[in-house]
């Protein structure tokens, strides 16, 4: 945000701000006079607090909190307390307003919500991920008030909608963080429209060329889709009217990001994505008739069109973990095109659109604890481990965000929902921590299976336990649920602490034997001398016999204190770690690494996971122990790195006129024919300054897939080669191939 000194038409802006505020009031349904008074009070306070502040676009800052509050009211359907807090969400962080002021004027609940929305100052630890710390702080509030997360999602949505005014590097970082954390969070909270928009806006800034391509293709085919949908729905509409249903039909085009995912996963162009849109039939019906009426409409649809037996999804009988309910089927149209049809009640549709807020509005219709409430309790369980650092917390939390689900039954028929890929151990820990810790196997559908067995939808199993069993490190390799990982780590940490206490006693005795002081200075020295990251790790390794305490004799001591060993000579090229970012004078916010020139004497190299070449948009990532790695901005790992480790990302660009051949990998897909490989290698050999590093082809049932690694000068050179490959008869697609080697963090 900016405080700009230039002259503005203050009177005109004041009128426009009042118009925006009145728009907010109109968006609040069923408000009382007291509601209006509270919202006006919050608006007046925010307006005064932000009066001298402007956004990067130059507009008055107050537009942002008004917009966030309107998203909360209009798109989420949240209550007055949330709308008030949305108006005030930046006051404590950015102005003279304190949490005490908030409490005095709006109460304790408002104070807690605003506190959850206030970022942690960037002064506590230069080596920590500020994004991860702030994300963890926000998630901690789920246990107390889930509105914090919903307001934060509204805040992020408005920031993404207005991201154009930001510099390119900040656009990329914010978009990556949004895709990695906030879009999955919106999905888990049932906010499908917001989740889709966050994903689309992330794609717009992470891969603008892809976004514009699909956006233009959707626009050019819009009229054709509309005509098709009208013809498709005409007979169904007539029957629904005849049978007296009150209904609404919506045709929703898939989001740009979901179309892009389908193009990537199926490796097909836009024209071959068959489910670009879905048709939604929404009926008004009382809760007790929802299920039979939805199935009746399914019967009407399938009377006209043949359904695919593999594409029926019944989320009415078994709602998804975030409360989503709907009946999905995919049917064949007379034009030979598959069409997805979604059938749901008005209540189900509101929950699908507005997620958590609507879920609690309709909660009285459900007698048992909902799966969403159960997910919230699982999140609370994740927060029980105070030893988990912010990065680990984000990793574990994200495991529970975006996973598809399978449904598993206990011996008594109780339904449990687990992520796809879940094993026996995941199920055991889902039942109870003690059962997980003592699990030695299970009977799945009356068949004995090991702990690592992956469960399938509909399995029924009985856990087998032993009092002698206890968790071990290998268990972490095959559990997938965040709950199981957290419980296993907690158990291993407890055992590790017990072993470490033995090691501490051993070291204490050895110190006494050598007449040395057992104090913090000496322990810290030993941690560094034996390359351990904590005292607990030092004691643990001593207890396990991995540290030879006889070496204590070899270390000089003065007055009972160890001396540090003499420093070794350091080569001219330095390798940086997290702690060295500042000591080497690297400012990740201002510095730009020019590829081809020396950068402060620090080693940097091209990352193997995406093999950037001149012409690619790139950034540098400061690894631990391996210098700086250069990644493409659309590298498969870029979102992960920028969202969790932005403080270790540095702007980078290519040195002009720097002609060095670099490796680029290409994947070619097509129909196999005689002499194809020769034709492709001939193109490479004739192309100036292109050398082939490797080539491999696999053919299955007449369809080939080839992987070629070549040395090229830049992206223009690569595109020229790609176009020549595409001209070869039989070649269907030529794409850049990311090898995705193990990522260096």
Positions marked catalytic: 93-94
Stretch (H or E) spanning 248:
strand 247-253
Cβ–Cβ < 8 Å for 469, 438: yes
Q: DSSP 3-state assignment of 66?
A: helix
Q: Which residue, 375, 380, 379, 355, is CA-closest to 186? A: 355
**Are β-strands 439-444 and 461-465 bridged in parallel, bridged antiparallel, or unpaired?**
antiparallel
Q: Give the neighbor-by-neighbor strand order of the sheet with 703-712.
A: 691-700, 703-712, 662-671, 731-736
Torsions phi, psi for 95 (to 5 deg)? -130, -175
Residue 19 CB contacts under 8 Å (≥ 6 apart), including other chains: none
Dmax (CA) of the chain: 98
In the structure encoding, which two tokens stand for residue 223, read together? 């009229």
Residue 58 CB contacts under 8 Å (≥ 6 apart), including other chains: 2, 4, 165
183 vs 261: CA distance, rounded Å: 14
- Count CB atoms within 10 A of the CB of residue 24: 23
In the structure encoding, which two tokens stand for residue 9, read together? 């038409």
Stretch (H or E) spanning 252:
strand 247-253
The per-residue DSSP string of 247-310 comes to EEEEEEEPPHHHHHHHHHHHT--GGG-S-SEEEEEEE---GGGHHHHHHHHHHHHHHHSEEPGG
27 vs 677: CA distance, rounded Å: 63
606 vs 357: CA distance, rounded Å: 47
373 vs 353: CA distance, rounded Å: 18
662 vs 711: CA distance, rounded Å: 5
Stretch (H or E) spanning 91:
helix 91-94
Cβ–Cβ < 8 Å for 526, 548: no
618 vs 642: CA distance, rounded Å: 12
324 vs 316: CA distance, rounded Å: 8
Q: Which residue, 98, 89, 94, is CA-closest to 55? A: 94
The per-residue DSSP string of 302-328 comes to HHHSEEPGGG-EETTTS--TT----EE
Cα dihedral value 61, 66, 71, 77, nearest 10: 150
Give the residues across from 338 on adjacent strands: 332
Q: Which residue, 238, 254, 225, is CA-closest to 304? A: 238
Residue 129 CB contacts under 8 Å (≥ 6 apart), including other chains: 390, 391, 394, 644, 645, 646, 647
In the structure encoding, which two tokens stand for residue 454, read together? 């992956």
Reported residue count of the chain is 745
Q: Residue 182 gets which letter from DSSP?
A: I
Let me know the angle formed at the C-alpha of 64 by 62 and 65, rounded to the nearest 5 degrees: 75
Stretch (H or E) spanning 164:
none
495 vs 650: CA distance, rounded Å: 40
Q: Which residue, 119, 112, 194, is CA-closest to 150? A: 194
Torsions phi, psi for 573 (to 5 deg)? -80, 125
């Amino acid at each position: 945000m900016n405080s700009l000194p230039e002259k503005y038409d203050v009177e005109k802006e004041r009128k426009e701000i009042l118009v925006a505020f009145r728009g907010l009031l109109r968006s609040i349904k069923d408000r009382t006079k007291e509601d209006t008074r509270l919202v006006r009070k919050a608006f007046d306070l925010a307006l005064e607090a932000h009066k001298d502040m402007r956004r990067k676009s130059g507009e008055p800052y107050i537009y942002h909190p008004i917009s966030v509050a309107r998203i909360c009211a209009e798109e989420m359907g949240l209550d007055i307390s949330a709308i008030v807090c949305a108006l005030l969400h930046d006051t404590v962080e950015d102005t003279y307003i304190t949490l005490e002021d908030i409490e005095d004027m709006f109460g304790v609940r408002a104070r807690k919500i605003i506190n959850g929305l206030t970022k942690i100052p960037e002064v506590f630890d230069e080596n920590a991920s500020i994004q991860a710390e702030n994300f963890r702080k926000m998630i901690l509030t789920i246990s107390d008030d889930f509105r914090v997360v919903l307001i934060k999602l509204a805040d992020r949505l408005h920031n993404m909608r207005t991201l154009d005014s930001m510099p390119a590097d900040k656009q990329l970082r914010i978009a990556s963080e949004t895709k990695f954390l906030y879009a999955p969070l919106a999905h888990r909270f049932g906010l499908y429209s917001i989740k889709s928009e966050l994903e689309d806006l992330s794609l717009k800034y992470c891969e603008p060329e892809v976004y514009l391509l699909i956006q233009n293709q959707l626009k050019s085919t819009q009229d054709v889709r509309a005509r098709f949908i009208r013809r498709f729905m005409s007979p169904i509409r007539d029957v629904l009217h005849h049978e007296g249903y009150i209904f609404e039909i919506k045709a929703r085009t898939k989001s740009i990001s979901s179309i892009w995912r389908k193009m990537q996963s199926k490796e097909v162009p836009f024209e071959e994505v068959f489910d670009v849109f879905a048709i939604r039939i929404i009926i008004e019906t009382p809760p007790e008739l929802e299920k039979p009426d939805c199935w009746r409409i399914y019967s009407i649809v399938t009377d006209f069109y043949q359904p695919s037996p593999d594409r029926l999804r019944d989320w009415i009988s078994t709602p998804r973990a975030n409360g989503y309910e709907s009946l999905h089927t995919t049917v064949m149209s007379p034009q030979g095109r598959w069409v997805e049809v979604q059938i749901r009640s008005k209540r189900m549709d509101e929950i699908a659109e507005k997620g958590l807020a609507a879920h609690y509005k309709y909660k009285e219709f459900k007698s048992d604890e909902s799966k969403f409430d159960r997910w919230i309790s699982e999140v609370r369980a994740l927060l029980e481990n105070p030893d988990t650092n912010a990065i680990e917390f984000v990793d574990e939390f994200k495991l529970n965000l975006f996973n598809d689900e399978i449904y598993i039954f206990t011996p008594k028929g109780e339904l449990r929902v687990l992520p796809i890929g879940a094993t026996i151990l995941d199920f055991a820990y889902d039942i109870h921590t003690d059962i997980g810790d003592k699990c030695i196997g299970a009977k799945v559908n009356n068949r004995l299976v090991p702990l690592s067995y992956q469960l399938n939808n509909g399995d029924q199993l009985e856990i087998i336990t032993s009092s002698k069993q206890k968790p071990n490190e290998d268990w972490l390799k095959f559990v997938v649920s965040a709950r199981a990982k957290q419980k296993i780590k907690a158990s291993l940490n407890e055992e590790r602490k017990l072993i470490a206490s033995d090691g501490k006693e051993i070291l204490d005795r050895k110190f006494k034997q050598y007449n040395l002081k057992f104090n913090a200075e000496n322990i810290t020295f030993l941690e560094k001398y034996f390359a351990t990251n904590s005292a607990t790790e030092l004691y643990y390794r001593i207890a396990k016999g991995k540290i030879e305490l006889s070496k204590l004799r070899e270390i000089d001591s003065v007055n009972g204190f160890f001396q540090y060993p003499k420093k070794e000579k350091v080569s001219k090229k330095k390798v940086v770690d997290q702690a060295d970012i500042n000591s080497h004078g690297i400012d990740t916010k201002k510095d730009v690494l020019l590829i081809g020139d020396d950068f402060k004497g620090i080693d940097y190299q091209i990352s193997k996971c995406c093999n950037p070449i001149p012409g690619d948009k790139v950034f540098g990532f400061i690894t631990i122990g391996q210098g700086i790695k250069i990644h493409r901005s659309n590298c498969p790992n870029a979102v992960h790195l920028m969202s969790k480790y932005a403080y270790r990302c540095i702007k980078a660009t290519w040195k002009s006129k720097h002609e060095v051949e670099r490796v680029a990998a290409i994947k070619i897909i097509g129909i196999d024919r005689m002499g194809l490989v020769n034709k492709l290698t001939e193109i490479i050999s004739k192309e100036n300054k292109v050398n082939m590093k490797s080539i491999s082809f696999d053919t299955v049932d007449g369809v080939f897939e080839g992987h070629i690694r070549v040395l090229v000068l830049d992206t223009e050179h690569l595109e020229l080669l790609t176009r020549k490959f595409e001209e070869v008869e039989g070649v269907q697609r030529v794409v850049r191939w990311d090898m995705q080697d193990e990522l260096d963090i």
